[in-house]
Amino acid sequence: QKEVEQNSGPLSVPEGAIASLNCTYSDRVSQSFFWYRQYSGKSPELIMSIYSNGDKEDGRFTAQLNKASQYVSLLIRDSQPSDSATYLCAVKPRYNNNDMRFGAGTRLTVKP
Amino acid sequence: EPEVTQTPSHQVTQMGQEVILRCVPISNHLYFYWYRQILGQKVEFLVSFYNNEISEKSEIFDDQFSVERPDGSNFTLKIRSTKLEDSAMYFCASSEAWRRGWPFSPLHFGNGTRLTVT
Protein backbone atom coordinates (compact mmCIF):
# COMPACT_ATOMS: atom_id res chain seq x y z
CA GLN A 1 0.00 0.00 0.00
CA LYS A 2 1.35 3.40 -0.98
CA GLU A 3 1.95 5.79 1.89
CA VAL A 4 0.22 8.71 0.19
CA GLU A 5 -2.21 8.25 -2.68
CA GLN A 6 -3.67 10.79 -5.04
CA ASN A 7 -5.57 10.57 -8.30
CA SER A 8 -3.05 11.51 -10.95
CA GLY A 9 -5.67 13.27 -13.06
CA PRO A 10 -5.65 15.21 -15.15
CA LEU A 11 -8.44 17.15 -13.51
CA SER A 12 -9.92 19.81 -15.74
CA VAL A 13 -12.25 22.54 -14.49
CA PRO A 14 -13.53 25.74 -16.11
CA GLU A 15 -12.36 29.09 -14.88
CA GLY A 16 -14.35 30.21 -11.86
CA ALA A 17 -15.33 26.69 -10.80
CA ILE A 18 -14.34 24.84 -7.64
CA ALA A 19 -11.49 22.34 -8.02
CA SER A 20 -11.48 19.45 -5.55
CA LEU A 21 -8.30 17.49 -4.96
CA ASN A 22 -8.18 14.39 -2.79
CA CYS A 23 -5.54 12.44 -0.92
CA THR A 24 -5.49 9.37 1.30
CA TYR A 25 -2.68 8.16 3.52
CA SER A 26 -1.83 4.84 5.06
CA ASP A 27 -0.13 5.66 8.36
CA ARG A 28 -2.88 6.10 10.93
CA VAL A 29 -0.62 7.98 13.37
CA SER A 30 0.29 10.70 10.87
CA GLN A 31 0.00 14.11 12.48
CA SER A 32 0.84 16.73 9.89
CA PHE A 33 -0.46 17.24 6.37
CA PHE A 34 0.52 19.63 3.63
CA TRP A 35 -0.50 20.69 0.17
CA TYR A 36 2.16 21.85 -2.26
CA ARG A 37 1.78 23.25 -5.75
CA GLN A 38 4.34 22.41 -8.42
CA TYR A 39 4.48 24.13 -11.76
CA SER A 40 6.16 22.20 -14.55
CA GLY A 41 9.94 22.19 -14.11
CA LYS A 42 9.73 24.08 -10.82
CA SER A 43 10.07 23.14 -7.17
CA PRO A 44 7.17 22.36 -4.83
CA GLU A 45 5.69 25.45 -3.23
CA LEU A 46 3.79 25.23 0.06
CA ILE A 47 0.12 26.20 -0.16
CA MET A 48 -1.29 25.03 3.16
CA SER A 49 -0.63 22.94 6.22
CA ILE A 50 -3.32 21.28 8.35
CA TYR A 51 -2.95 19.42 11.61
CA SER A 52 -6.46 19.11 13.11
CA ASN A 53 -9.65 17.50 11.88
CA GLY A 54 -11.96 19.85 10.03
CA ASP A 55 -11.52 22.67 7.59
CA LYS A 56 -8.84 25.31 7.28
CA GLU A 57 -9.33 28.22 4.93
CA ASP A 58 -6.73 30.53 3.40
CA GLY A 59 -8.03 32.82 0.69
CA ARG A 60 -9.39 30.73 -2.16
CA PHE A 61 -7.95 27.54 -0.69
CA THR A 62 -9.61 25.25 1.87
CA ALA A 63 -7.91 22.17 3.26
CA GLN A 64 -10.04 19.48 4.87
CA LEU A 65 -8.76 16.74 7.15
CA ASN A 66 -10.52 13.61 8.37
CA LYS A 67 -8.10 11.50 10.40
CA ALA A 68 -10.64 8.74 11.04
CA SER A 69 -10.97 8.20 7.29
CA GLN A 70 -7.28 8.99 6.68
CA TYR A 71 -8.32 11.52 4.11
CA VAL A 72 -7.21 15.04 3.30
CA SER A 73 -8.50 17.27 0.53
CA LEU A 74 -7.91 20.67 -1.02
CA LEU A 75 -10.62 22.85 -2.48
CA ILE A 76 -9.75 25.73 -4.78
CA ARG A 77 -12.58 28.21 -5.19
CA ASP A 78 -12.91 30.56 -8.16
CA SER A 79 -10.25 28.59 -10.04
CA GLN A 80 -7.96 30.64 -12.28
CA PRO A 81 -5.85 29.54 -15.24
CA SER A 82 -2.80 30.39 -13.11
CA ASP A 83 -3.88 27.60 -10.74
CA SER A 84 -3.04 25.08 -13.47
CA ALA A 85 -0.28 22.97 -11.92
CA THR A 86 0.36 19.67 -10.19
CA TYR A 87 -0.83 19.58 -6.59
CA LEU A 88 1.14 17.42 -4.20
CA CYS A 89 -0.22 16.01 -0.99
CA ALA A 90 2.47 15.50 1.66
CA VAL A 91 2.27 13.68 4.95
CA LYS A 92 4.58 13.28 7.90
CA PRO A 93 4.22 9.50 8.21
CA ARG A 94 5.50 8.65 11.66
CA TYR A 95 5.37 10.45 14.95
CA ASN A 96 9.05 10.59 15.73
CA ASN A 97 10.69 10.89 12.31
CA ASN A 98 11.36 14.13 10.59
CA ASP A 99 10.81 13.37 6.96
CA MET A 100 7.82 14.04 4.73
CA ARG A 101 6.38 11.74 2.07
CA PHE A 102 4.66 12.92 -1.08
CA GLY A 103 1.86 11.59 -3.19
CA ALA A 104 2.36 11.36 -6.93
CA GLY A 105 0.38 14.55 -7.42
CA THR A 106 -2.80 15.53 -9.25
CA ARG A 107 -2.44 17.57 -12.41
CA LEU A 108 -5.03 20.36 -12.53
CA THR A 109 -5.93 22.31 -15.65
CA VAL A 110 -8.15 25.37 -15.38
CA LYS A 111 -9.61 26.27 -18.76
CA PRO A 112 -10.37 29.94 -19.53
CA GLU B 1 11.63 36.19 2.36
CA PRO B 2 14.45 33.75 3.16
CA GLU B 3 14.89 31.00 0.64
CA VAL B 4 16.81 27.81 -0.01
CA THR B 5 19.35 28.21 -2.80
CA GLN B 6 20.78 25.42 -4.91
CA THR B 7 23.69 25.33 -7.32
CA PRO B 8 24.15 24.55 -10.11
CA SER B 9 20.72 24.75 -11.70
CA HIS B 10 21.74 22.19 -14.29
CA GLN B 11 24.57 19.66 -14.19
CA VAL B 12 25.55 17.38 -17.03
CA THR B 13 27.95 14.54 -16.28
CA GLN B 14 29.14 11.33 -17.79
CA MET B 15 28.23 7.96 -16.35
CA GLY B 16 30.69 6.91 -13.66
CA GLN B 17 31.70 10.44 -12.74
CA GLU B 18 31.25 11.98 -9.31
CA VAL B 19 28.97 14.97 -8.84
CA ILE B 20 28.38 17.28 -5.90
CA LEU B 21 25.13 19.18 -5.63
CA ARG B 22 25.17 22.19 -3.37
CA CYS B 23 22.53 23.82 -1.21
CA VAL B 24 22.35 26.71 1.19
CA PRO B 25 19.39 26.14 3.54
CA ILE B 26 17.46 28.90 5.25
CA SER B 27 19.74 30.23 7.97
CA ASN B 28 17.69 29.48 11.09
CA HIS B 29 16.54 26.06 9.93
CA LEU B 30 17.98 22.98 11.58
CA TYR B 31 16.67 20.10 9.47
CA PHE B 32 17.93 19.55 5.94
CA TYR B 33 16.71 17.21 3.24
CA TRP B 34 17.38 15.94 -0.22
CA TYR B 35 14.58 14.76 -2.47
CA ARG B 36 14.68 13.76 -6.08
CA GLN B 37 12.10 13.75 -8.86
CA ILE B 38 12.63 11.72 -11.99
CA LEU B 39 10.92 13.39 -14.94
CA GLY B 40 7.18 12.79 -14.80
CA GLN B 41 7.34 10.94 -11.50
CA LYS B 42 6.73 11.71 -7.85
CA VAL B 43 8.95 13.59 -5.44
CA GLU B 44 10.96 10.93 -3.59
CA PHE B 45 12.62 11.26 -0.21
CA LEU B 46 16.36 10.55 -0.15
CA VAL B 47 17.76 11.67 3.18
CA SER B 48 17.26 13.95 6.15
CA PHE B 49 20.05 15.51 8.19
CA TYR B 50 20.05 16.99 11.65
CA ASN B 51 22.73 17.92 14.14
CA ASN B 52 25.52 17.02 11.70
CA GLU B 53 24.34 13.51 11.05
CA ILE B 54 21.91 11.60 8.91
CA SER B 55 18.56 11.37 10.65
CA GLU B 56 16.84 9.09 8.19
CA LYS B 57 17.46 7.77 4.71
CA SER B 58 15.40 5.93 2.14
CA GLU B 59 16.22 2.75 0.26
CA ILE B 60 17.23 4.93 -2.68
CA PHE B 61 20.06 6.47 -0.65
CA ASP B 62 22.60 3.68 -1.07
CA ASP B 63 26.38 3.69 -0.69
CA GLN B 64 26.94 5.82 -3.76
CA PHE B 65 25.25 8.76 -2.04
CA SER B 66 26.60 10.85 0.78
CA VAL B 67 25.70 14.14 2.41
CA GLU B 68 27.80 16.66 4.23
CA ARG B 69 27.54 20.00 5.93
CA PRO B 70 31.11 21.20 5.40
CA ASP B 71 30.59 24.59 7.03
CA GLY B 72 27.87 26.58 8.75
CA SER B 73 25.89 27.31 5.62
CA ASN B 74 26.32 24.70 2.89
CA PHE B 75 24.70 21.29 2.64
CA THR B 76 25.90 18.99 -0.12
CA LEU B 77 24.81 15.79 -1.81
CA LYS B 78 27.55 13.72 -3.43
CA ILE B 79 26.91 10.95 -5.91
CA ARG B 80 30.12 8.95 -6.21
CA SER B 81 29.69 7.10 -9.48
CA THR B 82 26.72 8.35 -11.42
CA LYS B 83 24.42 6.06 -13.37
CA LEU B 84 22.01 6.85 -16.15
CA GLU B 85 19.10 6.31 -13.77
CA ASP B 86 20.40 9.04 -11.47
CA SER B 87 19.18 11.58 -14.02
CA ALA B 88 16.55 13.59 -12.17
CA MET B 89 15.77 16.90 -10.53
CA TYR B 90 17.31 17.01 -7.08
CA PHE B 91 15.64 19.25 -4.53
CA CYS B 92 17.17 20.44 -1.31
CA ALA B 93 14.80 21.47 1.46
CA SER B 94 15.03 22.74 4.99
CA SER B 95 12.68 23.14 7.93
CA GLU B 96 12.63 24.63 11.38
CA ALA B 97 13.36 22.56 14.45
CA TRP B 98 10.70 20.06 15.37
CA ARG B 99 9.82 18.86 18.84
CA ARG B 100 7.88 15.73 19.67
CA GLY B 101 4.29 16.64 20.30
CA TRP B 102 4.39 19.79 18.18
CA PRO B 103 3.10 20.18 14.63
CA PHE B 104 5.68 19.31 12.04
CA SER B 105 7.13 22.35 10.32
CA PRO B 106 6.67 22.42 6.55
CA LEU B 107 9.62 21.96 4.23
CA HIS B 108 10.88 24.85 2.16
CA PHE B 109 12.35 23.78 -1.16
CA GLY B 110 15.11 25.18 -3.30
CA ASN B 111 14.68 25.56 -7.05
CA GLY B 112 16.42 22.26 -7.71
CA THR B 113 19.39 20.99 -9.68
CA ARG B 114 18.60 19.12 -12.86
CA LEU B 115 21.16 16.33 -13.15
CA THR B 116 21.62 14.75 -16.56
CA VAL B 117 23.84 11.66 -16.76
CA THR B 118 24.95 10.73 -20.27
pLDDT tens per residue, range A58-82: 999 999 999 999 999 999 999 999 9
B93 vs B49: CA distance, rounded Å: 10
Mean pLDDT across A17-26: 95
**Alpha carbon distances (Å) from A73 to A98, B18, B85:** 22, 41, 33
For residue B101, pLDDT over 80 is answered with no
Residue A99: its chain B contacts at CB < 8 A? 33, 45, 48, 55-56
For residue B99, pLDDT over 70 is answered with no
How many C-beta atoms surround the C-beta of residue A100 within 10 A? Answer: 25
- Residues B98, A98 contacting (CB under 8 angstroms): yes
DSSP state of B68: E
Q: Which residue of B has its CA nearest to A44?
A: B109
Name which of B43, B56, B112 is nearest A97 (Cβ-Cβ). Answer: B56
For residue B98, pLDDT over 90 is answered with no
> Quick check: B104 contacting A, CB < 8 Å?
yes
B30 pLDDT band, cuts 50/70/90, is: confident
Contact A49 B106 (CB under 8 A): yes
Contact A103 B110 (CB under 8 A): no
Average pLDDT for chain A: 91
